[in-house]
């Protein structure tokens, strides 16, 4: 296989997360991960929310291993294994002449990999470090931690396959994988592969607004993601995520959507009759930057997805009382303004993703959120509002005293309004962002180039 | 009109409440209160949950007045007024020879009425005495307070109309109105009139299990309630209501269902495609006392009703985190037993109505409920578990110490299980019960026979 005794080859990529505005809920094929309807998402700015993943291969590795945020996790799950199989089968000859390393196609079967994945907002967002803790946080984080790691994994295989070059020699610091792949292959076709790692994560292959087309083929070849518009197209939008302090363990989205497909009598009606029309309207709204339509469709579709969860047997509850309160406040405010200022959407967890029309609205939104959900007295504002802190500045909030001085919003008529200290873990201010990039700077790798173990 | 100067004529009736097991949600005619689908309910035992209403008429009354639980309320609402009009137009000649009183048809227009309504579990159930407080308690109580009072009101008119006798002279202490009316008119036809006061309350015209047929006629003449089986048919069932300590004001069911009809894309599919099949299955399950099917249908339909509420714009949330917890515990228990032991259903509020297969299961259920939701330290067990206290005895619970000694149910694997003290206001143990009755005992009237004012 190779001449040298011990060598380690590595690749590191930064992958964004996305939040669906028209939801994916239900598979028509469990193995190939083919959805029952199209979905549309917005990719979130990776500077605030992303996963960095390093994948390494070496003849010295005795088994496949994976670390999430520095903690080793089991790779015995079915999806991990099938993903590993998929990548191995796609791998091609790889040669690093400088190092004098050559891996032939047939060698891949015998080679083990090490994967390390790291989230850029773990401690600050109050995420627990146990797997149960992760599972508590809904789709936004769940696939950040668990699924996006597969993407870079699949990328890695695809990349070697398509470009037949030594990808670890690319030296642009942030080189767009998608763009690179465009040279030889449509990145949407790559998304069809990425899809098999985690359905909704395939939408993270692009920045801006992305549509995952459900496709018709039985083999899933036409179930892929396409970019609708780049992130610059609608750059006024500001996104604030309210990370809700959840206590209870939730149903995973994988098992949840399977149960919905099996038991909900409303799911098929939604997938066949309602979503197709919404997709057309949503594409139109995004194209025209029509915030009113966008917000109306986003909120209605989030609510309908949760309605289908509730219609499942046994019912699935992802939203809690805090989620409900946030919806009520947003609805009340939108109503008082005469047209929507903020859209809300919730994935498989209680966290709210709030999309504000523009910066000015976002600042007003943040003031409202901090009024209703002030931080605990022992929580520093700096660790309570994360991400793009300039929104905090725009809101005129420099410290705890400014939060205490916030007035009740005018649309709230039943004063004194109740406050819910402690119900929110933190807020993350962000915006639509770009797709995944490959990091060539070795200092950014999460694994040690000598040992292949976490740094 | 009459010879004497001042006289007061009165009638008092006791009306039960009912809880739907296949839900009514959505009107196809707002004025006539015609539903978009059939619904099925179980009438609750009036010894534990009922409304007593006295209606009085006198030439001395200067205006229509109404008292709910001793507190006067405004009669300016549209439904009150239309109900009053309806009754006046149906009133006939009434003569009380003993008192020398004769009211002719045309006189009714000029006569004012006094109505007093009283609920048999107000203080004990922790119900606030303000109207806002009532509105917080969901359908069970809401129509107990507001709507059932109309029924006796309508009865009163119908009764005089049909029997043409002086109803206040009936001297059987508990004389069934329905039975009485059967003499001349089908009670289902009366329900079509009662329906116009409050839709779901029309099902309270019978005991046992009752179906409200949606009907087809534009004028609503065939939208009426029919008894499916008498309460004795399935007398093993035990019902435990968990009154949830709610803080927030809720959407009234009247406006909620209007908004659902206008905005939910799932409601029509439910009404047209799903409910008709469920009604057939539910009737079958009730006929055969097939608890497994009954429970499966009841739970699924409750969840689907709340799913439609969530699919409404803006979304309606009637259940809260406590409601969700109760569902989760019941689902877990049912799952561990292999077949359903308890069915749950929720109306337009967070309160859980739990239907146990039999007394033995009810005792086990009560033990579980008290384990998860123990009373506050300052709450007496006697005021925490209301209604049929023999269930408490069956559960082997005599006092607070027995509650403290309760062991975690075996189906709960994540010990120590969390307890939620204070989340439940109280439990009411009851069972399926009989229909409405007329009370001839004047001592039970809520209005003074001399003054026509509350006693």
What is the per-residue DSSP string for A345-409? EE-SSS-EEEEESSHHHHHHHHHHHHHHSPPPTTS-HHHHEEE-THHHHHTT--SHHHHHTPPPP
What are the φ and ψ backbone dihedral angles of B162, each rounded to 5 degrees?
Answer: -80, -50
Residue among B265, B317, B327 whose CB faces A315 most closely: B327
User: Which neighbouring-strand residues pair with B102?
Assistant: B95
CATH for the A9-230+435-444 domain, from 3.90.550.10, 3.30.230.10, 3.10.20.740, 3.40.1390.10:
3.30.230.10
Length of chain B: 455
Residue A91 has pLDDT above 50, yes or no: yes
The span from the CA of B327 to the CA of B325, in Å, is 5
Mean pLDDT of B408-422: 88
Mean pLDDT for B281-304 is 98
Instruction: Please state, in angstroms and rounded to a whole number, the distance separating the CA atoms of residues B143 and B137.
Output: 10
Residues of chain B positioned with their CB less than 8 A from the CB of A340: none
**pLDDT computed for residue B225 by the predictor:** 87
Q: What is the pLDDT of residues A335-358, one digit of tens each?
A: 999 999 999 999 888 999 999 999
Residues of A in contact with B320 (CB under 8 A): 321, 324
Six token digits for residue A159: 């990349």
Contact A304 B324 (CB under 8 A): no
* B278 touching chain A per CB within 8 A: no
CA A318 to CA A248: how far, in whole Å? 10
Inter-chain Cβ pairs, chain A and chain B, closer than 8 A: 79
Which chain B residue's Cα is nearest to A319?
A: B321
Measured distance CA(B190)–CA(B182) in Å, rounded = 10
> Mean pLDDT across the stretch B120-130?
38
Q: Name the pLDDT band for A115 (thresholds 50, 70, 90).
A: confident
Residue carrying structure tokens 């990425």:
A194
* Predicted pLDDT of residue B196: 61
pLDDT at B416: 75
Q: pLDDT value at position A160? A: 33
A177 touches chain B (CB under 8 A): no
pLDDT tens digits along B322-370: 999 999 999 999 999 999 999 999 988 899 999 999 999 999 999 999 9
CA angle A138, A140, A146 (to 5 degrees): 85
Contact B25, B260 (CB under 8 A): yes
Residue B412 CA to residue B406 CA, distance in Å, equals 13
CB atoms within 10 A of CB B103: 21
Please state which of the ranges A242-251, A345-354, B308-317, B326-335 shows the lowest mean pLDDT. A242-251
Tell which residue, A37, A40, A39, has the closest CA to residue A267: A37
Q: Name the more confident of B168 and A122.
A: A122
Residue A131 has pLDDT above 50, yes or no: no
Q: Which has more confidence, B39 or B101?
A: B39
**Which of B303, B320, B335 comes nearest A311 by C-beta?**
B303
Ranking A143-147, B382-386, B445-449 by mean pLDDT, the lowest is A143-147
CA A303 from centroid of its chain's CA atoms = 19
Q: Do B313 and B265 form a contact (C-beta atoms < 8 A)?
A: no
> Among A391, A300, A379, A375, which Cα is nearest to A48's?
A391
Cβ contact B327–A314 (<8 Å):
yes
Considering only CB atoms, A307 lies closest to which of B266, B327, B418, namely B266
CA distance A270 to A344: 19
Q: Is B38 exposed, middle or buried (0-12, 13-18, 19+ CB in 10 A)?
A: buried
CA dist., res. A266 & res. A443, Å (int):
50
Is residue B315 within 8 angstroms of chain A, CB to CB?
A: yes
- Please compute, for residue A229, the number of CA atoms within 13 A of its CA located in the half-sphere on the CB side: 15
Q: Distance (Å, rounded) from C-alpha B37 to C-alpha B22?
A: 10
Nearest CA to CA, how far is A124 from chain B (Å)? 26
For the segment B418-438, what is each residue's pLDDT rounded down to a tens digit? 899 999 999 999 999 998 777
- Three-class DSSP labels, A224-264: CEEEEECHHHHCCCEEEEEEECCCCCCCCHHHHHHHHHHHC
Contact residues on chain A for B328, CB-CB shorter than 8 A? 314
- Please indicate whether residue A282 or residue A69 has the higher confidence score (pLDDT): A282
Task: List for chain B the helix, strand, coil content (%; round to 5).
Answer: 40, 20, 40
Q: Which long-range contacts (CB under 8 A, 24 or more apart) does B330-335 make?
A: B330/B299, B330/B354, B331/A314, B331/A315, B332/B411, B332/B412, B333/B368, B333/B409, B333/B411, B334/B295, B335/A314, B335/B411
Residue with tokens 């406040």: A329
Paired tokens of A8: 């380690």
Which pLDDT band holds residue B78 (cuts at 50, 70, 90)?
Answer: low
pLDDT at A270: 98
Could B313 and A303 be called an inter-chain contact, meaning their C-beta atoms sit closer than 8 Å?
yes
Given CATH 3.30.230.10, say whether it is the number of domain B9-232+435-444. yes
Report residue B277 as tokens: 């099949």
Mean pLDDT comparison of A193-197, A218-222, B274-278, highest-scoring range: B274-278
**Residue B253, both tokens:** 């069911």
Neighbours of A9 (CB within 10 A): 20
Mark yes or no for CB contact A304/B266 under 8 Å: yes
* CB count in 10 Å sphere of residue B404: 10
**B313:A320 CB<8 A:** no
Q: Establish whether this prediction's ipTM goes over 0.85.
A: no
Is residue B56 within a helix (H) or strand (E), and if so which, with residue range? Answer: strand B50-58
CB B45 within 8 A of CB B432: yes
* Residues A239, A250 contacting (CB under 8 angstroms): no
Question: What pLDDT does residue A225 have?
Answer: 87
A94 or A147, greater pLDDT: A94
Asked whether A68 and A302 are in contact (CB, 8 A), the reply is: no
Structure tokens at A104: 């032939």
pLDDT-derived band at A97, boundaries 50, 70, 90: low
Distance from CA of A436 to the nearest CA of B (A): 34
Q: What is the mean pLDDT of residues B375-382?
A: 92
Strands A225-229 and A175-176: unpaired
- Report d(CA A365, CA A382) in Å as an integer: 18
Partner-chain contact A310 B315, CB within 8 Å? no
* Residue B317 in contact with partner chain A when CB distance is under 8 A: yes
Cα A197 to Cα A35, A212, A222: the distances in Å are 13, 14, 16
Q: Which residue has the higher pLDDT, B406 or B184?
A: B406
- Closest partner CB to B314 (pick from A310, A331, A418): A331
Pick B320's closest partner by Cβ from A312, A313, A321: A321
- Contact B265/A324, CB-based, under 8 Å? no
Average pLDDT, chain A: 79
- CB spacing of B303 vs A320 below 8 angstroms: no
Q: What are the angstrom distances between the C-alpha of B142 and each of A27, B54, B132, B135, B234? A: 41, 18, 11, 6, 27
Q: Looking at the complex, does the CB of residue A420 fall below 8 Å from at least one CB of chain B?
A: no
Residues of chain B with CATH 3.30.230.10: 9-232+435-444
Cross-strand partners of A10: A56
Q: What are B323's two structure tokens?
A: 């409601």
Q: Is the pLDDT of residue B54 over 90?
A: no
Q: What region does A100 belong to: left with phi over 0, alpha with psi -120 to 50, or beta?
A: left
Cβ contact, residue pair A266, B265, below 8 Å: no
As a whole number, mean pLDDT of residues A410-437 equals 89
Strand B424-430 and strand B238-244: pairing?
A: antiparallel
- Distance, CA of A4 to CA of A11 (rounded, Å): 20
Q: For B74-201, where are the alpha helices, taking DSSP H only? A: 78-90, 131-135, 138-142, 148-163, 177-182, 187-194
Total Cβ atoms within 10 A of residue B69: 18
Chain B residues touching A273 at Cβ < 8 A: 265, 269
Neighbours of A382 (CB within 10 A): 11
Rg from Cα positions in chain A = 22
The answer to whether the CB atoms of B304 and A266 lie below 8 A apart is yes
Residue B280 and residue B16: Cα distance in Å, rounded? 25
Q: Looking at the complex, does the CB of residue A273 fall below 8 Å from at least one CB of chain B?
A: yes
Confidence of residue A189 (pLDDT cuts 50, 70, 90): low
Residue B247: is it exposed, middle or buried by C-beta count within 10 angstroms (0-12/13-18/19+)?
exposed
* Contacting residues for B341 by C-beta, under 8 A, at least 6 apart: B295, B333, B334, B356, B357, B361, B364, B365
A292 in helix, strand or coil?
helix
**B250 interaction partners in chain A (CB closer than 8 Å):** none
Q: Quick one: pLDDT at residue B147? A: 35
The three-state secondary structure class of B338 is: coil
Of A310, A328, A331, the CB nearest to B307: A310
* Number of DSSP helices (H) and strands (E) in chain A, helices first: 15, 20
d(CA B409, CA B396): 15
pLDDT at A4 over 80: no
Q: Say if the Cβ atoms of A247 and B418 lie within 8 Å.
A: yes
Chain A partners within 8 Å of B274 (Cβ)? 265-266
- Distances in whole angstroms, Cα of residue A222 to Cα of each of A34, A195, A217, A279: 10, 11, 6, 17
pLDDT-wise least confident of A397-411, B59-73, B85-99, B139-153: B139-153
Question: CATH 3.30.70.890 spans which residues of chain A?
Answer: 238-430
Q: Identify the CATH assignment for A238-430 out of 2.30.33.40, 3.20.20.70, 3.30.70.580, 3.30.70.890.
A: 3.30.70.890
Long-range pairs, A391-394, Cβ under 8 A, ≥24: A391/A238, A391/A240, A391/A359, A391/A362, A391/A363, A391/A366, A391/A429, A392/A366, A392/A429, A394/A359, A394/A360, A394/A362, A394/A363
Closest approach of B328 to chain A, Cα-based (Å): 8
């Amino acid at each position: 296989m190779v001449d040298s005794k011990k060598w380690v080859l590595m690749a590191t990529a930064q992958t964004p997360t996305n939040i669906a505005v028209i939801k994916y809920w239900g598979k028509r094929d469990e193995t190939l991960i083919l959805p029952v309807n199209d979905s549309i998402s917005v990719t979130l700015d990776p500077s605030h929310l992303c996963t960095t993943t390093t994948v390494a291969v070496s003849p010295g590795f005795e088994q496949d291993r994976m670390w999430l945020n520095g903690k080793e996790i089991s790779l015995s799950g079915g999806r991990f294994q099938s993903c590993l199989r998929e990548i191995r089968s796609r791998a091609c000859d790889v040669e690093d002449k400088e190092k004098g390393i050559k891996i032939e196609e047939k060698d891949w079967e015998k080679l083990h990999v090490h994967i390390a994945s790291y989230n850029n907002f773990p401690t600050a967002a109050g995420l627990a470090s146990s797997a149960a803790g992760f599972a508590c946080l809904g789709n936004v984080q769940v696939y950040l931690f668990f699924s996006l790691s597969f993407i870079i994994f699949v990328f890695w295989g695809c990349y070697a396959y398509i470009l037949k070059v030594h990808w670890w020699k690319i030296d642009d610091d942030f080189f767009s994988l998608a763009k690179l792949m465009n040279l030889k292959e449509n990145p949407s076709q790559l998304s069809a592969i990425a899809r098999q790692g985690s359905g909704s994560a395939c939408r993270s292959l692009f920045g801006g607004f992305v549509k995952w087309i459900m496709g018709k083929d039985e083999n899933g070849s036409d179930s892929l993601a396409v970019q609708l518009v780049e992130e610059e197209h609608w750059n006024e939008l500001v996104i604030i995520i309210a990370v809700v302090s959840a206590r209870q363990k939730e149903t995973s989205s994988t098992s949840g959507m399977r149960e919905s497909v099996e038991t909900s009598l409303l799911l098929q009606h939604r997938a066949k009759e309602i979503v197709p029309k919404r997709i057309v309207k949503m594409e139109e709204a995004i194209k025209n930057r029509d915030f009113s339509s966008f917000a109306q469709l986003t909120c209605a579709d989030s609510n309908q997805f949760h309605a289908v969860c509730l219609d499942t047997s046994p019912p699935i509850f992802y939203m809690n009382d805090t989620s409900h309160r946030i919806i009520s406040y947003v609805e009340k405010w939108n109503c008082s303004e005469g047209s929507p200022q903020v859209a809300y959407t919730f994935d498989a967890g209680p966290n709210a993703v709030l999309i504000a029309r523009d910066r000015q609205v976002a600042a007003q939104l943040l003031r409202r959120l901090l009024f209703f959900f002030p931080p605990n007295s022992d929580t520093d504002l700096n660790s309570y509002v994360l991400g793009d802190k300039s929104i905090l500045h725009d809101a005129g909030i420099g410290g705890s005293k400014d939060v205490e001085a916030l007035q009740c919003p005018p649309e709230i008529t039943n004063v004194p309004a109740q406050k819910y200290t402690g119900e929110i873990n933190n807020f993350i201010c962000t915006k639509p962002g770009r797709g995944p990039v490959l990091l060539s700077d070795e200092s950014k790798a999460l694994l040690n180039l000598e040992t292949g173990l976490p740094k």
